[in-house]
């Protein structure tokens, strides 16, 4: 139902009835649904390339999201729209709202959910070339398995863009982290991910040399 409402409000905004769309969205009782409505409008408007308008509704969505008690819900609402911005090439807007997503991910109480949220952010950062920030976030992960998995993901993305020396350095760092894992089967999982990433680097490096 709320998806339908967001789509209807987006049509109002597209037709130039911005104030009416805002007024209707603000009358929704629940903060989660208000935030969802505003982010849904922004998502529907992405194809119009009206950056100022998209930005306006995203700011409304964040303002309402901040009233939501559940950090996971706050994260999911904004992260879903950020993913859409990334896919459609609105990198400037993605960067603008990433900090909010990062902060909310770190506030998620459930450890597994928090890790999943942070891992999704790391993957997104590597997709838009923000490797320094991705590494910085990965370095703050206390769990050595999750830390090594995050570094392995970064390695694969570095290899994809041809940064082979940096990728190899990240492999060495991931190995050091994985070696601190005490449980054998968990350590094996970490090294499996690292070896898969290493193979990706070797494969792409070989292909790059053959293309020259």
Domain ranges of the chain: 1-109, 138-212
Total-model pTM? 0.78
Per residue in 132-176, pLDDT tens? 999 999 998 999 999 999 999 999 999 999 999 999 999 999 999
**Residue 28 contacts residue 34 (beta carbons within 8 Å):** yes
Q: Are 129 and 91 in contact (CB under 8 A)?
A: no
Q: How far apart are CA 76 and CA 148, in angstroms?
A: 24
C-alpha to C-alpha distance for 211 and 193, rounded to whole angstroms: 27
pLDDT digits (tens, 9 = 90+) for 51-91: 777 777 777 777 777 777 888 888 887 887 777 777 777 77
């Amino acid at each position: 139902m709320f998806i339908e409402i967001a789509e209807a409000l987006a049509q109002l905004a597209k037709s130039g009835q911005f104030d009416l769309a805002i007024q209707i969205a603000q009358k929704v009782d629940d903060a989660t649904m208000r935030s969802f409505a505003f982010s849904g409008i922004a998502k529907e408007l992405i194809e119009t390339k009206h950056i100022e308008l998209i930005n306006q509704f995203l700011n409304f969505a964040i303002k309402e999201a901040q009233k939501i008690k559940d950090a996971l819900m706050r994260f999911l609402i904004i992260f879903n729209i950020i993913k859409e911005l990334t896919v459609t090439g609105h990198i400037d807007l993605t960067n603008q709202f990433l900090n909010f997503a990062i902060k909310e991910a770190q506030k998620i109480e459930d450890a597994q959910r928090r890790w999943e949220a942070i891992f999704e952010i790391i993957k997104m950062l590597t997709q838009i070339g923000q490797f320094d920030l991705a590494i910085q976030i990965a370095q703050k992960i206390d769990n050595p398995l999750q830390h090594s998995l995050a570094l392995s993901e970064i390695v694969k993305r570095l290899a994809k863009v041809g940064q082979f020396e940096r990728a190899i350095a990240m492999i060495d760092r991931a190995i050091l982290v994985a070696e601190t894992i005490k449980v054998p089967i968990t350590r094996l999982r970490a090294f499996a991910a690292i070896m898969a990433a290493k193979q990706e680097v070797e494969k792409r490096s070989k292909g790059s040399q053959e293309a020259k």
